[in-house]
Every structure is written in structure tokens, then in C-alpha cells.
């Protein structure tokens, strides 16, 4: 089964917790704090594996969670950091953040890696908080939560040449004749439901990868027929081979077919028309084909070379393949995305700093405090220790949360909520 689009959930490993501990050794009076730090959680890393051809594996496993860092230990022993979680993907995979629509990574080369979520850092042990004023603190941090994301993976087939055209114009037959690929061939529309790849070698010993793509119909750019399922896979091709049925056996006009397909390519993505296009007049062994070809040439306003062939009798195939190989050699790769679009690239630009917190009023009258910074700080606080609770209170005051609550009208005894936890506001 060919799977080319999936939705998955990924989460980096949480950091390990720091601990509160003290040296308790013979002949060492006043040993002092000795709580170690927690280890870093595992990143989740996507790596390209050329042995994969589809996203089938992600149909059965949709959740990926990195290992949690080890907790700190006494005697200032730090917890173990976890190795990255490696997830294999096929070449041609585009990783998109489902919530923001941003492109996280575009993975095309064997061994290419991308960190899609990072693990959290380990929490600090109490030895990190020792000061002359407080030489024996009972403060230790919990580990930082790992990043989490909902991702969409799209596979866009890696091929040098893409065969496009209406259903039943002979694309699969051409691929089966010029390569060792064996696509399904039958006398009905949409026989090809998934892209087929084949390595083609010309008579002068040049080679390229050709993709037979599912047939297009009018409206495909908006999802009609196989729609985007097809069009996604032509985005990476360098040369488009436009196959037309010159026999007219199905009652369609080859010139109208030619205009319709090009319009679909234009409507889907303007950059598809930047690629060089080779027109192939197939089924020239059939009656009326020569007459239809002459009419087609008269209607065609552009000065484009047309290759009349018959995939069944193999007439004209050698000349076509040599011309395709020439185009592939002289055509550069077309980047799918601008450098600024891909998150994995380092781009230095001004970004407005996110507010550390927001204050809202819930339906039940409680004050709700939200924000990435305050929520992360809350999760990393160990509320079992009095010193840690006081430290969290001081941080909230320094961030301006207390003053902001008073400005909004909070009174003594009001309920304040962070995540699923509630506190009392005390003046």
C-alpha cells in the first residue's frame, strides 16, 4: 500500500529532576548540599533512509516520545542524558507543523537529519542554589518538559522526470517499456492509483529516474479525481513529459487535453510551468493519429518539439529518451521552498518577543494565568519543598504577575489558576 501523507504526534523527552541531598560522610562536618542535576531528555530526530519508499510505517505508529532524562543523585552525581530518538523517513519527505503550517524540514538526501522536537534540560539539584546567605538550600528543580508537536508528513516522490496526462493516454505503458518497472496496465481510467518509479537507461548509457503519475482530470488542482494525491508528486521533478493520446479513440481533442493539463499545473503551483516540458504524441500506430497530429501542430502556437511515438510498437522511443536525458542534464533542481520558509535553516531576523504571561478571567470568576514561560517555570517547580515554593512566588513577583492581578481587580482570597492547579491570591 502506498502511503504519502500522515499526521503524527512527537514529543521530546522531559528532563530529569534535580534532587535535594547533603553530604553525610564520616570526618566531614557540615558537608553541605550535594544534590545532582537531572539529565537532558532525548530529542526526536528524523533521518532519511533510502531503503524506505512510503510512509506506511507511520500508519501503525503515530506517537513518538523521547526518553526522559535520569534524575540526579546524591554526592553531586548528575543523571544520565538520553540519546536522541531516531525516526527513519523516506527521501522526499516534507515535515510540516500542523498547528502553524510552517515547514519544519525538507528531507531529500540519504542520511540527512532534522531535529523536529528538542528534549527538556535537566532540573538543577540543591548544590546549584547554595549561596553565602543560604548555604544549605532545600531547593531543587524538576526537569524541563520536552517540546511537543503535531506534525504532517508529506511524501513527494523523488524523480527526475514525471509523466503527466489524462487517464489512459499510455503513461504506464511507456514506463513499462523503457524501464524494469511493472505498473498495472488496463483498459480503464485511473488504473494507476499511486506513483510508479523506474530507472531508465538510454541507448548512449545515460540514466535517469522516471515517475508514472496518476492521471489528471479537469479540476484536479482543487481535489477533483486524485487531485493533490497526484500533483504533490510532480513538484520535485525537473522535466515534465506531457503524454497525449493522438488516436482520439475516446473522443477527446488532444489540443484541448494539452491546454487543460497545463492549466491544472498552473492552478496548483505556478512554478510547475517553469520546468521544461516535452510533448509526446502517443498511439501513433492507430488510425487517424497522423491527421490528429497535423491538426494539433496547427493549433499549437508555441514552437515546441513534439515526439510522435507508439509505446506498444516502441516506435520513436530512443529519440524521446535521448531528448529527455539531455533536458535532465541541463536543467537544475527546482527548490520547493524558499530558504526562509524552512525552519531548520538558520535565519537571523527580528522576532517580537512573546509575552511571558497573560491574565484571563474564567466563567467561574477565577483568574487564569497563561503563557509558555510561566507554565514552564510552574512545571519545573517542586512544590513538595517550602524553599522551592517561596522561590516560585518570588519569580512571579519579579515577572509582575502580582501587580498585574491587582490592576485587574484581584482581591484577597480570589482563586488563581495555572494549568489545572489553583491557588489563593493573598494581599
Ligand-binding annotation for 284, yes or no, is yes
Ligand-binding annotation for 285, yes or no, is yes
Ligand-binding annotation for 11, yes or no, is no
Ligand-binding annotation for 130, yes or no, is no
Ligand-binding annotation for 330, yes or no, is no
Q: Which residue has the cell 527526475?
A: 160
Of 394, 369, 385, the residue nearest 142 (C-alpha): 385
For 48, residues 6+ apart whose C-beta sits below 8 A from its C-beta are 88, 89, 90, 91, 93, 107, 108, 109, 110, 111, 112, 113
Ligand-binding annotation for 21, yes or no, is no
Ligand-binding annotation for 405, yes or no, is no
Q: Which residue has the cell 528543580?
A: 141
Ligand-binding annotation for 269, yes or no, is no
Ligand-binding annotation for 193, yes or no, is yes
CA torsion 358-361-365-370 (nearest 10°) is: -30
Ligand-binding annotation for 393, yes or no, is no
Ligand-binding annotation for 79, yes or no, is no
Q: What are phi and psi of 74, to 5 degrees?
A: -65, 175
Ligand-binding annotation for 416, yes or no, is no
Ligand-binding annotation for 26, yes or no, is no
Ligand-binding annotation for 136, yes or no, is no
Ligand-binding annotation for 3, yes or no, is no
How far apart are alpha carbons 107 and 49 in whole angstroms?
Answer: 10
Ligand-binding annotation for 184, yes or no, is no
Ligand-binding annotation for 310, yes or no, is yes
Ligand-binding annotation for 170, yes or no, is yes
Strand partners, 280: 243, 307
Secondary structure of residue 135 in the 3-state scheme: coil
Ligand-binding annotation for 371, yes or no, is no
Ligand-binding annotation for 152, yes or no, is no
Ligand-binding annotation for 150, yes or no, is no
How far apart are alpha carbons 48 and 27 in whole angstroms?
Answer: 57
SS (H, E, C) 38-104: CCCCCCEEEEECCCCCCCCHHHHCCEEECCCCCCCECCCECCCCCCCEEEEECCCEEEEECCCCCEE
Q: What are phi and psi of 210, to 5 degrees?
A: -115, 140
Q: Which residue has the cell 492521471?
A: 215
Ligand-binding annotation for 312, yes or no, is yes
How far apart are alpha carbons 351 and 395 in whole angstroms?
Answer: 25
Ligand-binding annotation for 179, yes or no, is no
Ligand-binding annotation for 192, yes or no, is yes
Q: Which residues are annotated as a binding site for Mg(2+)?
A: 172, 192
Annotated binding site for GTP: 165-172, 190-194, 212-215, 282-285, 310-312
Binding residues: 165-172, 190-194, 212-215, 282-285, 310-312
Amino acid at each position: 500500500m502506498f502511503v504519502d501523507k500522515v499526521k503524527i504526534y512527537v514529543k521530546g523527552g522531559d528532563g530529569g529532576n534535580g534532587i535535594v541531598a547533603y553530604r553525610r560522610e564520616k570526618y566531614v562536618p557540615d558537608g553541605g548540599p550535594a544534590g545532582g542535576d537531572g539529565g537532558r531528555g532525548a530529542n526526536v530526530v528524523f533521518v532519511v533512509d533510502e531503503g524506505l519508499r512510503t510512509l506506511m510505517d507511520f500508519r501503525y505508529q503515530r506517537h513518538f516520545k523521547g526518553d526522559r532524562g535520569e534524575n540526579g543523585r546524591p554526592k553531586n552525581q548528575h543523571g544520565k542524558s538520553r540519546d536522541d530518538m531516531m525516526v527513519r523517513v523516506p527521501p522526499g519527505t516534507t515535515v510540516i507543523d500542523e498547528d502553524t503550517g510552517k515547514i519544519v524540514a525538507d528531507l531529500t538526501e540519504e542520511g540527512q537529519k532534522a531535529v523536529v522536537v528538542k528534549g527538556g534540560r535537566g532540573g538543577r539539584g540543591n548544590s546549584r542554589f547554595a549561596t553565602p546567605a543560604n548555604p544549605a538550600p532545600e531547593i531543587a528543580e524538576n526537569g524541563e518538559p520536552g517540546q511537543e508537536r503535531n506534525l504532517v508528513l508529506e511524501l513527494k516522490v523523488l524523480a527526475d522526470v514525471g509523466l503527466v496526462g489524462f487517464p489512459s493516454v499510455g503513461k504506464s505503458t511507456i514506463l513499462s517499456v523503457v524501464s524494469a518497472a511493472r505498473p498495472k496496465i488496463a483498459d480503464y481510467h485511473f488504473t494507476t492509483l499511486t506513483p510508479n518509479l523506474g530507472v531508465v537507461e538510454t541507448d548512449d548509457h545515460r540514466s535517469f529516474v522516471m515517475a508514472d503519475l496518476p492521471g489528471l482530470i479537469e479540476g484536479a488542482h482543487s481535489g477533483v479525481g486524485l487531485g493533490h494525491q497526484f500533483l504533490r508528486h510532480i513538484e520535485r521533478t525537473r522535466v515534465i513529459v506531457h503524454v497525449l493520446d493522438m488516436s482520439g479513440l475516446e473522443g477527446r481533442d488532444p489540443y484541448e487535453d494539452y491546454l487543460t493539463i497545463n492549466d491544472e499545473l498552473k492552478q496548483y503551483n505556478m512554478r510547475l510551468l517553469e520546468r521544461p516540458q516535452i510533448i509526446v504524441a502517443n498511439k501513433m500506430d492507430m488510425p487517424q493519429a497522423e491527421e490528429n497530429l497535423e491538426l494539433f501542430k496547427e493549433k499549437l502556437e508555441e514552437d515546441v518539439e513534439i515526439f510522435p511515438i507508439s509505446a506498444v510498437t516502441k516506435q520513436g522511443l530512443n529519440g524521446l529518451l535521448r531528448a529527455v536525458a539531455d533536458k535532465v542534464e541541463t536543467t537544475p533542481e527546482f527548490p520547493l521552498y524558499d530558504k526562509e520558509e524552512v525552519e531548520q535553516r538558520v535565519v537571523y531576523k527580528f522576532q517580537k518577543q512573546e509575552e511571558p504571561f497573560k491574565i484571563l478571567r474564567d466563567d467561574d470568576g477565577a483568574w487564569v494565568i497563561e503563557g509558555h514561560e510561566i507554565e514552564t517555570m510552574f512545571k519545573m517547580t517542586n512544590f513538595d519543598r517550602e524553599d522551592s515554593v517561596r522561590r516560585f512566588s518570588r519569580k512571579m513577583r519579579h515577572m509582575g504577575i502580582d501587580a498585574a492581578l491587582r490592576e485587574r481587580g484581584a482581591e484577597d482570597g480570589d482563586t488563581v489558576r495555572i494549568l489545572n492547579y489553583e491557588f489563593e491570591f493573598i494581599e
